[in-house]
Structure 1
């Protein structure tokens, strides 16, 4: 039974490595192709030269995000630092500030609804900030202009409940079981926005280290809601 479990784990690992190799190879191949175009361009072909230059810059940025997310995921294996009392509202406000410009450029409104006198939670502030940045970024990317992404912080008996709701494109039911899998991106998500497919994996990993489970409810064209609860600090 133990041997069988290790075999499954090894196959999952091999699949992940193949997927990472593919995700790295695709932009590299495209960059090489456009490098050849640049090398063969004449002075008169300035428009073609600029398009290739912009394409390469975009692919390099995509590679950099993928590598950064892979490094973040690997560092999470070390666990979180000591969990201490954290003002969750401040953490969320910092995450909102980080996403404000990209949301404004897209015409998406970010809002925070927090219960009064919210108690502190047990957590790692830096890691929790990453959770909110990833979820808010996800909401902004898949919400059209004129839409909303709302964070709700609600106080319970011994925990603070969190909801992040967007009015975006929603997630197909067939994709929902897989959205937290490393490097998974559904067909509609790929068409709608760029991404590494690791953001939600990082979110789930961090929350698991805080003893929290993340849940998702979504319906195509009716938006998505992510929710979880964090224990109140003693």
Structure 2
């Protein structure tokens, strides 16, 4: 607290002191007049100034005496996350400060206990989600194997439909698992130099059945390795999510073939991987909210398959990795997502 603020808080006290001093001087002066005693006005004015001077010295002393306590309160107030300043708060100078100190320490203790309980419950929840997802992925894999073994001409269409729904189930489980792991991102990543084109090819290979089914074909416009610094598992998730969305919003009932195009632009300070589709595009009014949690937009309401979490998680992953993720689209003409890998800096924003 600055001295100006300190004085401002004591305006009422100052006003009362000045008024009471004036009243006392006036009473004494009137008494002297009644008793026919004269005293120079300058002496009265001098006494008034001396009284005010003593009062100002007292205020300055009081401020200096409590300045350390005020500074510690400001430190607690300005602390963004860490409240450990409360434990280092100095001794109190009066009963009021002692009460403040006890209240702050009590609040700190209650907050700490609740945080510990929340963290423990959260860890149990994450553990349960991880175990449940892994258990559910086993029957999904078994169903997929059974479908491959049982396919025949008579039931091909039925099995393809079951296979498609099974893929959606597997993708949903993966998204849930990644969402659970994202909360402990700093414990679950490994930075390495990797070929982003090989990651893109793996994503294409993992989604080839869905692409073939909907007459969508990949096109990679670069034939060399492109090395970037990232985490293999997390960047795979981002690219895979973009490709899945591209397939979802490009498929149609017609036999017309469409393409998902992969382009790489290498610059001095960054490498940009752009993934473009020829789908229905994103309305202009929805572009700014594509990365918001649970936002499905106009297109999501059309397909009824969107959860609004895929691109939100992708954006969070890119933010944590220090990568950029941009979107550019025109309704009716397709969408382009660009992942920007920056060079020459600490990419992990933990």
Residues 1:190 and 1:63: Cα distance change in structure 2 (over 3 Å): farther
Q: 2:206 aligns with which of 98, 111, 115?
A: 98
Residues 1:171 and 1:67: Cα distance change in structure 2 (over 3 Å): same
CA contact (8 A) 1:151 1:164 kept: yes
Q: 1:133 aligns with which of 202, 222, 240?
A: 240
**What is the Cα deviation at residue 187 of structure 1?**
3.0
Aligned length: 180
TM-score normalised per structure 2: 0.46
CA distance in 2, matches of 1:103, 1:64: 16
Q: Does 1:194 align with 2:305?
A: yes
1:204: which partner in 2?
315
1:150: which partner in 2?
261
CA contact (8 A) 1:65 1:196 kept: no
Residues 1:110 and 1:63: Cα distance change in structure 2 (over 3 Å): closer
1:34: which partner in 2?
none
CA contact (8 A) 1:153 1:162 kept: yes
Structure 1 segments unaligned to the other structure (5+ residues): 3-53
1:228: which partner in 2?
339
CA contact (8 A) 1:62 1:195 kept: no
Q: Does 1:176 align with 2:284?
A: no
**What is the Cα deviation at residue 129 of structure 1?**
0.8
Residues 1:134 and 1:62: Cα distance change in structure 2 (over 3 Å): closer
TM-score normalised per structure 1: 0.68
Structure with more relative contact order (C-alpha pairs < 8 Å, separation 6 or more):
1
SS in 2 for 1:214: strand
Give CA-to-partner distance per residue, 1:122-179, whole Å, 9 cap, x none: 1101111111110011011111442211111222213221101111100011111111
CA contact (8 A) 2:283 2:298 kept: no
**What is the Cα deviation at residue 188 of structure 1?**
2.7
Q: How does 1:161-172 map to 2 (within 5 A)?
A: 161-172=272-283
Give CA-to-partner distance per residue, 1:70-89, whole Å, 9 cap, x none: 33212112125131111111
CA distance in 2, matches of 1:185, 1:173: 14
Residues 1:233 and 1:136: Cα distance change in structure 2 (over 3 Å): farther
Greater fraction strand = 1
Greater fraction helix = 2
Residues 1:197 and 1:65: Cα distance change in structure 2 (over 3 Å): farther
**What is the Cα deviation at residue 110 of structure 1?**
1.2
**What is the Cα deviation at residue 65 of structure 1?**
5.2
Structure 2 segments unaligned to the other structure (5+ residues): 1-76, 79-160, 346-350
RMSD: 2.8
2:51: which partner in 1?
none
Higher Rg: 2
